[in-house]
Structure 1
Amino acid sequence: MNRRNMLHALAALMGAGMLKVPSVAAAAQELVITTYGGSWEKFWRDSMIPAFTEASGEAVRLDIGLGRTYTTNLRAAGKENPPYGVLMTNEIYSTVLRKEGFFEKLDLEKVPNYADLYPIATRAADGWAAVGLISPIGIGYRTDMVETPPTKWTDLWDNPEFKGRIGLYNIVNSAGKMFLMLTSKIYGSGITDLDTGFARLAELGQVVQTDFNMSTAMATGEIVVAPFDFGEIARLRNQGLPVDCIIPEEGLMMWDQTFNICVNQPTRDAAYKYLDFVLSPAGQTLLMEEFLVSPVNRKVEVPESLARDVPVSGAAMEQFIDWDWDLMNANAEEIARRWNETFGA
């Protein structure tokens, strides 16, 4: 054996041996969880992961992306080799991936905090997942630019002050889809009566659409009323902007983050520990304090210091409307076309 062949042989032996090194093996078994970028990533790295690791002793690796990215990655990897242990994403994406077999039905014995969740956090997924984060969406408005504050969704049609100064999330955002179903429910036979929904949306006339950030248009006065995340209104108000947000008589929309456990992944026990921690009073309190979201665990009480910023809790958690994401996903292209025609996009 010459020197080159000997070096190659030694390298091969070292490579095989390295797989038995505990630190390398542990890395291969590390729980992979997901979140979004920006302030979400910072919070998970600085607060959520350290708190979970301290409570459980489990190591975690964070993957940053969006629902579309996660969907693509799961499909590319296949059900036998999922890249994630626990996937957090909106229910509109979870619904599709659940039907495709990427998630396991929850073993509730491993999730004791599941029993303490509000019904809104469990009923959509029916035991297959849990909503771990709820951002309620009510009607936000400029208190200094509106004489008659809104009390219900129909005020967007009926109050002449709002004409031409209404903001809406576009149809790419799940809040746009929810608003279409909401309109169909209020004015038609139910959330699936989209023909009536589109007809009534056309009566709103000119609206200001946004992909996600409604705050800029509200801050500049380009709009005076819009479907709005209570937490975002709280941040604007705490910065000195004259705004408020109300719970409409007909019910609330919400941005949800559903937590799903992927099938066939080697960190199943750690995944269940993480899910249970997110749903625990400790995990929910961390999320509430950081993002001003409504805690989904009934044992969490909103402190007086946050009562105005987090007004949706307790009995108000029954005000959320159930949505038909199967309908939205199955007709996504046609719905987008009709929406854009309605608002001249």
Structure 2
Amino acid sequence: MNLRQSFSVGLLALGISGSTHPLLAEDLIVNSYGGPYEQIIRSTILEPFEKQTGITVVYDAVGSASQDYAKIKASNGRPGFDVVVMTASQALQGCREGLLLPLESSAIPNLRAINPAIAKAAGPCGAVHELQYMALLYRTDHFPKPPASWDVLFAPELKGHVVLPTFQNSMAVDLLQVLSVMRGGDLVENTSPGFAAMRQLAGQSIGFEQSSAVLERYIRNGTVWAMPFWNGRAQLLVDEGLPIDYVRPREGTVPLIATMSIPSGAEHKDAARKFIDFFLEKGRQEAWATAYKVGSARLDVELPEDLRDRQISSEADMRALLLPDLEAVSRHLPEWGERWERDVVSALQ
């Protein structure tokens, strides 16, 4: 990142606009994540996009998906960035509240290549650029055989060796829904069994963390032996040669539908559409999926066999997942958030 970009990103983090190094007319501000994500998106997406279009990208690696949407809402659609990476839940909420722009295939042709069922799940304001799923991540030095069920998190020997996401991390909702189905409830309307299970699991946990980068530190250093985690980032840990692996438990799991959106008051809408279309190109999707170890919503992507076997890469993979009505989920989130604080966090011992 050059000096001007670093300064601009710092101002964005502080919520300040304007500087002695003002953004140029052709600059595009992309808000997304830090850590390994930032390193990979720079080399596979941002730099090739800049080279092809001549548009300079200022990368704003500040905030989680829920925090980013809070900025969009607080600013009435003018958060200071032009493209935001969130999840389908925020994309649906933003569309419903009129804070994100509907995306049209006439301006973003590669939207036509996205799996229609996945595109529908994300709604008209979210362009799906990757698919992950919530995996069960575990330490192989404590599990000679791979665990087969989410129930392993409740095992007495794991007390004090589990960490959980905060409600602001969408894994919390995913785990709540999976446990709800396992205990006789469902994904949306009857989640009381899930809340009861999460309350029990909080008693096993050492605490709650919002950032995936922080969550992974616990399993890296051996404090945590098993936890929920996104499969793409899990694969990056496996590739480092750490005593870590991951599985899709037999009860199933929930996909993470990652989306790009344009805030309604974005300054550089045309450049934002070009960026989204570029990211969704077949070659870019293949490069991104291979580098970040994720699946794609384009069914025509060609991935290495060893990667394809562990990702969401086919219609059959999609049918095997638990896919909640995300529009309904987004409507329940405020109520669930209050209940999480009251029933789950309060059970932490």
Q: Note if 1:332 corresponds to 2:337.
A: yes
Structure 1 unmatched ranges of 5 or more: 1-23
**Aligned match of 1:304:** 305
- Using the TM superposition, name which of 26-35 and 327-336 deviates more: 26-35
Q: Please state how far the C-alpha of 1:243 moved relative to its aligned partner.
A: 2.4
Q: CA–CA distance in 1 between the matches of 2:268 and 2:294?
A: 29
Q: How do 1:152-301 and structure 2 match up within 5 A?
A: 152-157=149-154, 162=158, 165-191=161-187, 192-204=189-201, 205-211=203-209, 212=212, 213-265=214-266, 267-301=268-302
Q: Please state how far the C-alpha of 1:208 moved relative to its aligned partner.
A: 3.3
Aligned pairs, number: 318
Asked if the contact 1:280/1:297 (under 8 Å) is kept, the reply is no
Asked if the contact 2:132/2:311 (under 8 Å) is kept, the reply is no
Asked if the contact 1:82/1:263 (under 8 Å) is kept, the reply is no
Q: Note if 1:317 corresponds to 2:318.
A: yes
1:175–1:290 CA distance, 2 compared to 1 (3 A)? same
Q: CA–CA distance in 2 between the matches of 1:210 and 1:25?
A: 39
Q: CA–CA distance in 2 between the matches of 1:32 and 1:256?
A: 22
Q: Please state how far the C-alpha of 1:117 moved relative to its aligned partner.
A: 2.0
Q: Please state how far the C-alpha of 1:303 moved relative to its aligned partner.
A: 0.8
Q: Please state how far the C-alpha of 1:69 moved relative to its aligned partner.
A: 5.1
Q: Note if 1:138 corresponds to 2:135.
A: yes
Q: CA–CA distance in 1 between the matches of 2:68 and 2:244?
A: 35
SS across alignment from 1:27? coil
1:86–1:297 CA distance, 2 compared to 1 (3 A)? same
Q: CA–CA distance in 1 between the matches of 2:87 and 2:308?
A: 26
**Aligned match of 2:108:** 111
Bigger radius of gyration, 1 or 2? 1
SS across alignment from 2:106? helix
1:307–1:125 CA distance, 2 compared to 1 (3 A)? closer
Asked if the contact 1:277/1:283 (under 8 Å) is kept, the reply is yes
Asked if the contact 2:163/2:207 (under 8 Å) is kept, the reply is yes
Asked if the contact 1:34/1:64 (under 8 Å) is kept, the reply is yes
Asked if the contact 1:166/1:226 (under 8 Å) is kept, the reply is yes
- Using the TM superposition, name which of 251-260 and 290-299 deviates more: 251-260
Q: How do 1:10-49 and structure 2 match up within 5 A?
A: 27-28=24-25, 30-49=27-46
Asked if the contact 1:29/1:266 (under 8 Å) is kept, the reply is no
RMSD, aligned CA: 3.1
1:331–1:138 CA distance, 2 compared to 1 (3 A)? closer
Q: Please state how far the C-alpha of 1:259 moved relative to its aligned partner.
A: 0.9
- Using the TM superposition, name which of 238-247 and 26-35 deviates more: 26-35
SS across alignment from 2:120? coil
1:69–1:202 CA distance, 2 compared to 1 (3 A)? closer
SS across alignment from 1:223? coil
Q: CA–CA distance in 1 between the matches of 2:152 and 2:71?
A: 42
Q: Please state how far the C-alpha of 1:266 moved relative to its aligned partner.
A: 5.1
1:325–1:31 CA distance, 2 compared to 1 (3 A)? same
Q: How do 1:43-82 and structure 2 match up within 5 A?
A: 43-66=40-63, 67=65, 70-75=68-73, 77-79=75-77
SS across alignment from 1:144? coil
Instruction: Work out which of the residue numbers 337, 341, 344 in structure 1 matches 2:346.
Output: 341
Q: CA–CA distance in 2 between the matches of 1:118 and 1:240?
A: 34
Asked if the contact 1:139/1:247 (under 8 Å) is kept, the reply is yes
